[in-house]
Structure 1
Amino acid sequence: MFKTGYEILNQYEALKKTYDYILGKKKEIKDFQAKTNYKSVTFIGCGSSYCLCKSAEVSYKLRSGMPANSIAAGDLLVNFPAYKKLLENTLLIAPSRSGSTSEVVLSVEMAKAELGVPCISIAAKQETKLGEIADLSIEIPWAFDESVCQTRTVTNLYLADLLLIGIMLDDTSLVEELEQAIKAGEEHINRTREIAREVVDNEEWQKVVVLADAEIAGIAEEGALAFNEICQLPSNYYHILDVRHGPMVLINGKTLALVGCSPDNESYQKDLIKDLKAKGAVVVTVSARDASFWDSDYNVEIPRYKNFAVNGVPFILVPQLLSYFKALKAGVNPDEPTGLDPWIKL
């Protein structure tokens, strides 16, 4: 088995460790929060981590009512003067696989030197440069992916972001439901693996659109990136109804549409799925409903959570497995995508 496959299928073991570790740091997190003055939270990252920052931004804003932002670390590094006003009195949160990505490290150093802002780092390695300069360092080395493409690391960083938000905002419901999602992991992997194999073996698709909204939009965008990296097919992310505003013209019989369905206003989503199928797309839904409700071609059923952000944990497994099995079928090595480095050093 390729490293990528192993890391995808073993991610829930790491998720359990991450959950226990971060809950064990609850007092340290709360003590840090109590002594830190900030009026907003800013999440920064690169690539996959930046996608997760987008989800974290929405989760924090919706749950706290406070301002929150997400910025690509490379954008911040190049355009720091333009962002200085936004960064005043903010708390930086920087998720990173390596803790060594130059854009992230240099941006944090600049923000601390010029504005004195505090920083929480989350890294899948120990004793990193990012951890050294952060005011609070969270280290989850069991989540580190040896493969170039991030899978297990992505899910664990997403979990870490949400646990941090849950602890900071005293959102016990979010924290408890994240634990439930982890406990459901083995069954979810077994069910999703079979469905993903069917989609790859029985359908011919050569491009992908990933659709999702709200708190899972960012991790859904990471799902689209997984298809680029792992099976090296063109893929794009859009908000669910936004796909009608231009991208629909490119959807055809060679398109796989992966939809992370929302529990609200389902009729609008059902109409959209009908439109996608009319264009010839193979539609895979991920939801607490079954395939017959959506009239989708395939459905990965997940538990119904009160906190929609929790759906992101089981959702991301679906594009990871689909892209992995597609790579195997196409004879593509998922561990070594041409021209891609595991992290960037400038």
Structure 2
Amino acid sequence: MIDRAEDTSLMFAEAGEAAAAVARLLDHNQFAITALAERLRATPPRLVVTCARGSSDHAATYGKYLFEAMLGIPVVSAAPSIASVFDAPAGGAPDTLCIAISQSGRSPDLLATVEAHRRTGTHIVALVNDEESPLADAADTIIALRAGPERSVAATKSCLAAMAALAAIVAETAQDAALHAAVRTLPATLRTAFAQDWSPMVQSLTGARNLFVIGRGYGLGIAQEMALKLKETCALHAEAYSAAEVRHGPMTIVGADFPILAVAGSDRAGDSVRAVAAEFAARGARILLADAGDAGGILPTAAAHPAIEPLLALQSFYRAANALSLARGLDPDAPPHLAKVTRTV
């Protein structure tokens, strides 16, 4: 059992550094992002393939919605075991783009997948925190996350940095002034988000065993990341669903006092999340709503550009997840059976 203040953990400190990390990311990679955007406008790829695992894969899901909604380019997620276990061709081509996302840049299956795509002439973009890693060496374009050392097993600032990098790439490629401005103000808005009071989540989930995390659109990857952190640091069985997908089989088990953490943006996807949350509330479910489109949510989150709102909710969540882990007598920095670098093959 752990008994200490919430601000003494590495997870708290590192999540709190996300604003500074994003500021470094944007300043350091301005030329690389502009050059990549010019390439994408001049010769738009037929397809984007993302390669990532864990929190990085949740950043990739966020990026999928950005690329498809704002650039009209389809995005698929690579299964790394196709290259590392089955030794099958990657199926890439010179007119595709591969975006590999990793904190360490050292997982063998990710590297095998990237190498398979590189052999087909695919342009490789690496969003990587370790600039001296094999992944960085294999890339045609390196976007250095610049998150600095991340010692807590739970990735926080590197995940937010990867999401910010994807938003910056899309904003520059689409030449979207509103998104570009929102990305440039991310360091300030993330600092504000980290100070938000999400203690109702801690109080509600301290004794919980199961819950759903609901998002949609730009918020789906964030819901996936929240569910992972609740499992990883809080030993809670949390499952993430799209507000659309949860209406199929999963909604059957939601009844009285079943916890629902719902993240709604100010866009139409947020309307869908709000509708599902209201439906579950009518069944007596315990709703924890972070709602950028309505000040009535129990978990405060700011309205911003719809593509940026999920990042702000995630930053507030990281602090609350750290506090919840401690409230449950756990150590958020050292979840059992996990290591910082996962070398899957």
Aligned to 2:214: 211
Aligned to 1:312: 310
User: 1:86-119 deviations in whole A, cap 9, x for unaligned?
Assistant: 6563111111110111111111112222x12110
Aligned to 2:199: 197
The answer on 1:93 being equivalent to 2:93 is no
TM norm structure 2: 0.87
User: 1:121-170 deviations in whole A, cap 9, x for unaligned?
Assistant: 01111211001011111223334421111111111111111112222333
TM norm structure 1: 0.87
The DSSP-based 3-state class of the residue aligned with 2:78 is strand
Aligned to 1:246: 249
Q: Does the 8 Å CA contact 1:50/1:72 hold for their aligned counterparts? A: no
Partners in 2 of 1:42 and 1:288 — Cα distance?
Answer: 30
Q: Give the letter aligned to residue 15 of structure 1.
A: V
Assess, with a 3 A threshold, how the Cα gap between structure 1 residues 2 and 266 changes in structure 2: closer, same or farther: closer
Match of 1:119 among 99, 124, 128: 124
Assess, with a 3 A threshold, how the Cα gap between structure 1 residues 284 and 166 changes in structure 2: closer, same or farther: same
Partners in 2 of 1:190 and 1:127 — Cα distance?
Answer: 34
Assess, with a 3 A threshold, how the Cα gap between structure 1 residues 199 and 31 changes in structure 2: closer, same or farther: closer
Report how far residue 272 of structure 1 moved: 2.2
The DSSP-based 3-state class of the residue aligned with 1:258 is strand
Between 18-27 and 42-51, report the one with greater CA deviation: 18-27
Assess, with a 3 A threshold, how the Cα gap between structure 1 residues 29 and 289 changes in structure 2: closer, same or farther: closer
The answer on 1:285 being equivalent to 2:289 is yes
The DSSP-based 3-state class of the residue aligned with 1:184 is helix
User: 1:178-202 deviations in whole A, cap 9, x for unaligned?
Assistant: 22333222222212xx2x2233135
Q: Which has the higher helix share?
A: 1
Q: Does the 8 Å CA contact 1:44/1:92 hold for their aligned counterparts? A: yes
Match of 1:337 among 335, 338, 342: 335
Match of 2:179 among 174, 182, 187: 174
Q: Does the 8 Å CA contact 2:41/2:173 hold for their aligned counterparts? A: no
The DSSP-based 3-state class of the residue aligned with 1:141 is coil
Q: Give the letter aligned to residue 249 of structure 1.
A: T
The answer on 1:230 being equivalent to 2:228 is no
Aligned to 2:4: none
Q: Does the 8 Å CA contact 2:22/2:147 hold for their aligned counterparts? A: no
Any residues of structure 2 matched to 1:154-173 within 5 Å, and which?
Answer: 154-173=159-178
Q: Give the letter aligned to residue 277 of structure 2.
A: I
Report how far residue 235 of structure 1 moved: 0.4
Which ranges in structure 1 are unaligned for 5 or more consecutive residues?
none
Number of residue equivalences: 335
Partners in 2 of 1:105 and 1:185 — Cα distance?
Answer: 31
Partners in 2 of 1:31 and 1:276 — Cα distance?
Answer: 46
Partners in 2 of 1:142 and 1:173 — Cα distance?
Answer: 25
Match of 2:62 among 47, 55, 61: 55
Report how far residue 291 of structure 1 moved: 4.8
Which ranges in structure 2 are unaligned for 5 or more consecutive residues?
1-7
Over aligned residues, Cα RMSD in angstroms? 2.5
Between 70-79 and 335-344, report the one with greater CA deviation: 70-79
% identity of equivalent residues: 20
Partners in 1 of 2:82 and 2:283 — Cα distance?
Answer: 37
Aligned to 1:21: 28
Q: Give the letter aligned to residue 200 of structure 2.
A: E
Aligned to 1:39: 46
Partners in 1 of 2:242 and 2:217 — Cα distance?
Answer: 9
User: 1:202-251 deviations in whole A, cap 9, x for unaligned?
Assistant: 56433221111112212221111111111121001111143232222333
Q: Does the 8 Å CA contact 1:144/1:153 hold for their aligned counterparts? A: no
Partners in 1 of 2:268 and 2:257 — Cα distance?
Answer: 29
Aligned to 1:274: 278
The DSSP-based 3-state class of the residue aligned with 2:168 is helix
The DSSP-based 3-state class of the residue aligned with 1:111 is helix
Q: Does the 8 Å CA contact 1:54/1:217 hold for their aligned counterparts? A: yes
Partners in 1 of 2:175 and 2:123 — Cα distance?
Answer: 20
Q: Does the 8 Å CA contact 2:230/2:238 hold for their aligned counterparts? A: yes
Assess, with a 3 A threshold, how the Cα gap between structure 1 residues 250 and 87 changes in structure 2: closer, same or farther: farther
The DSSP-based 3-state class of the residue aligned with 1:301 is coil
Partners in 1 of 2:213 and 2:93 — Cα distance?
Answer: 31
Match of 1:221 among 219, 224, 234: 224
